Structure formats: structure tokens, C-alpha cells
């Protein structure tokens, strides 16, 4: 596939899109080009079928976009593209070669931008009693609980006055953004057998409470991954792990697309290469809030539980968008 015959590169609308949004780009010449631009400059089509409320005539003067999922883009083939939108004279396929096997005669392929990776490490070199440093936000600290810095660590204490373990949960959210693909590395120390350290990913509510999310947690004798729907957790992967109370451990979590993996090991040991627990297909695959939740057990309501944290590194990967700009080179 090459540049469509009769269309000039300077006739392409210069605008950026994300690969999970369906958008259309005017690719015609002269007055037809101007009409097309005027009609769609602020139009974002809904759904993956493209077209929205456009007429057949409109579609004939526009170009639709198609792409692969992030997972399929890692192993690109000619047949793992999204469906070709119907009714358009041409479609731009945004992603790595090879081009779609079902490409039309006027279709062409455009490389995606590289993924954007942000890597932020939080340490707790603050005075005792200070709040958790930015970008961490204290969301829920029930009566009798707390979230502060002590002896160079971030300490989270559950409430001690609630009637249930849920009421006593404490939650610290990471920043204000919503993320999908995330790698987490942290040190933690639970101070009692009843303490339940948890890391929540892709939460649809900022306070990490009665949410729909993915949760990785340690529950006294096991490391678990759970789907959470409307606040109800269902364990979907588990591994037996017995950790020593008061000892330091490292935890790594990798959430990429539908797959979430986790491993835990003593702080003094080298990081293992394998994963302790893997959930191949979690229910929540869209972006959401993330952060730390500490809970007690149903058998110990009203008793404060303490977990300490240090050296928390959050690596977030945002999928590359694509830009079609004046003078852009088109792929084969």
C-alpha cells in the first residue's frame, strides 16, 4: 500500500488521534477537501464501526482508521487488525507492518508513535508525622487510623473504631490520573497476621472503595489476584506464600492488557525471574485509579492493623498515538 493516487500529502488533515478512538481524516482535494474538513474538524466518531451519522457521500470523501489492540501490536500479523470500517474509499491502518490482508486498493499503513513510559519512585525521607509525599493522595483514613511518615517509611494504619473490616480500611491513591498498563515495585512490612496489604489497579472510583477494579493482595498465607466488581472481590489466581510478620518484602506487579502478574520475595534476596501468580484474563481491562489499601480481617474489626511501605516505583505505559502530519512518510 502506498500514498493514494491523486492525493497530495499536504491535503491531509494535520491532527492527532489515539489508537483507541475512531476518527476520520479528510483526504480529498480542492473544494471537496475544504467541505470535508469543515464537516469533521470537531467530529469524533463513536464506536469502532466508524461513520457515525455520516452520509454515504461523506464517507466517500473521508478516510477511516483501523488498528490492532496493544497485545496484538506486540506480535503483528496481516490478519490481527481490527475490522475494516465499511463504506469508505480508503482506510489508514495505524500500526506495525505487515499491512492488513484485506486492505483495499487505496488503503495504506502508518506506523504508531512509540509508547510513552513514565517512571516515578517514592521514598519517605521526610520528618516523622509528615503526610505521604506527592503524588500520593490520602483517600480514606477511618477513625483510629492514619497515613503518615515514620522512621523513613510510609505507614498506613487501618481504623480501629469500625464495626467491620471494610469500614476500617485505609486507602492511599497514586496521583489523579487513570492508568491501564502499569508495573509496580515496592517494599512492604506487615506488622501483624491480621494486616491485609493490597494494591488496587484500574479502579473506577478514586477512593478505591466499593469499586470495580483488579486487586493484588497478601492474605496471611497466600498472594492473590482478584477481580473486584461493585466492591465484591473474587479471587481468580492464587499462590501459597507465608511471609514473616515484621520482615521486609519486595512486591512486583505487572498489569498489561488483560494479564496481571505478581511476585513477592524477601528484601535481602535477588528478584526472582518467575511470577508467583498470574491471571491471564482479568475482567477490568480499561484505565482506572491505582493505589494502596490496607485492611484487617472480618475476625478483627475494631483492631488497628499497620503496614509500612518504602521505595515505591510506579511505571506506567501509555499506548502510542498516531499523527498524520504534513509531509508524513507512509509505510508499505
Q: What is the DSSP secondary-structure string of 102-152?
A: T--TT-EEEPPPPPEEEEEEE---S-TTPPPPTTEEEEE--TT-EEEEETT
Q: Which three cell numbers stand for residue 233?
A: 472481590
- pLDDT value for 97: 87
- pLDDT value for 323: 44
Domain ranges of the chain: 9-113, 116-318
- pLDDT value for 93: 86
| Sequence-separated (6 or more) residues with CB below 8 Å from residue 80 | 68, 72
- pLDDT value for 178: 86
Task: Please answer whether residues 150 and 129 qualify as being in contact, where contact means their C-beta atoms are separated by less than 8 angstroms.
Answer: yes
Would you give per-residue pLDDT tens digits along the chain (332 residues)? 443 333 333 333 333 333 333 333 433 333 443 343 333 333 433 333 344 455 666 556 677 888 887 767 778 899 999 999 888 888 888 888 899 999 988 888 888 766 667 889 999 999 999 999 999 999 998 888 899 999 999 999 998 776 666 678 999 999 988 888 999 999 999 998 899 999 999 999 999 987 899 999 998 899 999 999 988 999 999 999 999 999 999 999 999 989 999 999 999 999 999 999 999 999 999 889 999 999 987 666 667 899 999 999 999 876 555 443 322 333 33
pTM: 0.67
- pLDDT value for 136: 96
Instruction: Return the CATH fold of 116-318.
Output: Jelly Rolls (2.60.120)
Question: Whose CA is closest to 109, among 121, 94, 122, 120?
Answer: 94
Query: Cα separation of 187 and 242, whole Å?
Result: 16
Amino acid at each position: 500500500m502506498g500514498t493514494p493516487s491523486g492525493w497530495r500529502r499536504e491535503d491531509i488533515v494535520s491532527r492527532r488521534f489515539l489508537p483507541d478512538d475512531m476518527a476520520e481524516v479528510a483526504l480529498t482535494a480542492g473544494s471537496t477537501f475544504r467541505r470535508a474538513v469543515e464537516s469533521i474538524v470537531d467530529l469524533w466518531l463513536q464506536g469502532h464501526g466508524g461513520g457515525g451519522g455520516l452520509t454515504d457521500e461523506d464517507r466517500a470523501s473521508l478516510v477511516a482508521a483501523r488498528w490492532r489492540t496493544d497485545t496484538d501490536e506486540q506480535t503483528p500479523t496481516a490478519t490481527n487488525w481490527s475490522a475494516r470500517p465499511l463504506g469508505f474509499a480508503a482506510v489508514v491502518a495505524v500500526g506495525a507492518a505487515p499491512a492488513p490482508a484485506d486492505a483495499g486498493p487505496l488503503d495504506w499503513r502508518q506506523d504508531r508513535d512509540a509508547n510513552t513510559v513514565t517512571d516515578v519512585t517514592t521514598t519517605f525521607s521526610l520528618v516523622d508525622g509528615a503526610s505521604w509525599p506527592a503524588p500520593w493522595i490520602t483517600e480514606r483514613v477511618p477513625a483510629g487510623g492514619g497515613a503518615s511518615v515514620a522512621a523513613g517509611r510510609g505507614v498506613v494504619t487501618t481504623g480501629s473504631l469500625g464495626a467491620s473490616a471494610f469500614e476500617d480500611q485505609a486507602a492511599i491513591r497514586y496521583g489523579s490520573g487513570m492508568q491501564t498498563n502499569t508495573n509496580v515495585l515496592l517494599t512492604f512490612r506487615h506488622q501483624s497476621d491480621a494486616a491485609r496489604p493490597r494494591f488496587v489497579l484500574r479502579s473506577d472510583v478514586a477512593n478505591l472503595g466499593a469499586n470495580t477494579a483488579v486487586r493484588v493482595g497478601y492474605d496471611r498465607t497466600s498472594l492473590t489476584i482478584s477481580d473486584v466488581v461493585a466492591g465484591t472481590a473474587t479471587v481468580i489466581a492464587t499462590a501459597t506464600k507465608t511471609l514473616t510478620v515484621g520482615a521486609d518484602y519486595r512486591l512486583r506487579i505487572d498489569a498489561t492488557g488483560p494479564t496481571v502478574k505478581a511476585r513477592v520475595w524477601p528484601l535481602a534476596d535477588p528478584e526472582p525471574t518467575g511470577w508467583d501468580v498470574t491471571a491471564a484474563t482479568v475482567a477490568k481491562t480499561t484505565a482506572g485509579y491505582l493505589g494502596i489499601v490496607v485492611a484487617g480481617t472480618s475476625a478483627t474489626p475494631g483492631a488497628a492493623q499497620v503496614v509500612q511501605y518504602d521505595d515505591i516505583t510506579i511505571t506506567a505505559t501509555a499506548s502510542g498515538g498516531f499523527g498524520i502530519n504534513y509531509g508524513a512518510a507512509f509505510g508499505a
